[in-house]
Amino acid sequence: MSFLKKFFTSAVVAGAIAFGLSASTSLAQSPEQDWSNIRILFVPWSQSSNPFFEAVVNGAKDAAKQQGVSLDIQFGEEDQQHQLGILETGIANKVTAIAVNIADDDAYIDVLCKAMKSGIPVVTFNIDDSRHGAEGSTCRMAFMGQNFVDAGYVLGKRMIAEHNLKKGDVVFTPVEAPQATYAVERHAGVQKALDEIGATSEILGTGNDHAQALNLMTQYLLGHPNTAAVIGLGQTPTSQAVQAIKDAGLKIPAGGFDISAEILEQIKNGELTAAVDQQPYSQGYYAVTQLALNVKYGLYPSEMDTGGTGLVDKSNYEQAVKWAGPIR
């Protein structure tokens, strides 16, 4: 290669490197866009004291921080009118976007369709309208949560297979709020499995207070000593099932929905067969992330099954122990 050719080649390479460094330096030094004017209203339907939502809220907060957006978290306190009031106020104050639980198929249609029509994107998390966006259902762009019917069916089948439940058996299925969409769908899944063997179930509302739930469940079991098993349809009754069975003097199996440190300890000890994991952190995280991306760049939110039909049992509980509460 001649001297001139070598010189020309080196000059081109050096110039390209210099341009690349200059461009990257320019990009690195340019101020990031301020997205803090994006205000996302985040409305869990439950009580603010419900420990399940710790992980949901943590996910939402982490996503808001990463996206640089503002987050307003307000709990519905399991009061439909209170939650509707929060949503109406948010729309009147022109929030940028809304993430919400839908605990009733019909109660939120008008207010959320009003939000969407006014240009406020809406996603649901944790609990969705059971019609899942079909015509006539609540207006929303996407849902981040679990298919409760499928999960309930898998849990029901596991309890049947492991504990030889049979025709004529009655399974106790306590849940915090029997009328809520999540409770109806979870029970439908469990009952679908029980129907296949000719067994039945009985629901009892427990509320979220653990002491109250334990008392109500114990009283039920004392009055129904022939109960074949307990399947909790929410974190509160699942966490209290083992103690309620002991207090009632029975020796029957228990399983249920959701994860907590207490539930995982009972799984470890073999007192609880299995629990459905719906990964609540992901629900909050992706609800806020997808709304932020929609507002910033017009990216349409995607439907997301955050938990599948996965069960936590003695074979895999250790993976969930470290992060039970803040994440799992």
Give span(s): CATH 3.40.50.2300, the chain: 39-146+279-307, 148-276
pLDDT digits (tens, 9 = 90+) for 61-118: 999 999 999 999 999 999 999 999 999 999 999 999 999 999 999 999 999 999 999 9
pLDDT tens string 160-185: 999 999 999 999 999 999 999 999 99
Task: Please tell me the predicted confidence (pLDDT) of residue 319.
Answer: 84
pLDDT tens-digit readout, 233-257? 999 999 999 999 999 999 999 999 9
pLDDT bin (cut points 50, 70, 90) of residue 27 is very low
d(CA 260, CA 192): 26
CATH of 148-276, one of 3.40.50.2300, 3.30.410.40, 3.30.300.130, 3.40.50.20: 3.40.50.2300
Q: What is the pLDDT of residue 16?
A: 40
Give the strand order in the sheet containing 200-205: 200-205, 170-175, 229-232, 254-257, 275-276, 311-312
Compute the mean pLDDT over every residue in the chain, rounded to the nearest whole number. Answer: 91
Under the banding of pLDDT at 50, 70 and 90, the label for residue 291 is very high
Segment 129-158 mean pLDDT: 95
Residue 59 corresponds to which tokens in the numbers above?
Answer: 């996910």
Say what the pLDDT of residue 11 is.
Answer: 42
Q: Is the pLDDT of residue 24 over 90?
A: no
Q: What is the pLDDT of residue 310?
A: 85
Q: What pLDDT score was predicted for residue 324?
A: 85
From CA 244, how far away is CA 256, in angstroms rounded? 14
Q: Has residue 22 got a pLDDT over 70?
A: no
The topology (CATH level 3) of 39-146+279-307 is Rossmann fold (3.40.50)
CA distances from 136 to 50, 87, 100, 130, 131 (A): 31, 20, 18, 11, 8
For the entire predicted model, the pTM comes to: 0.85
The rounded distance, in Å, linking the Cα atoms of 206 and 278 is 20
Question: Per mean pLDDT, which range of 2-6, 197-201, 239-243 is the poorest?
Answer: 2-6
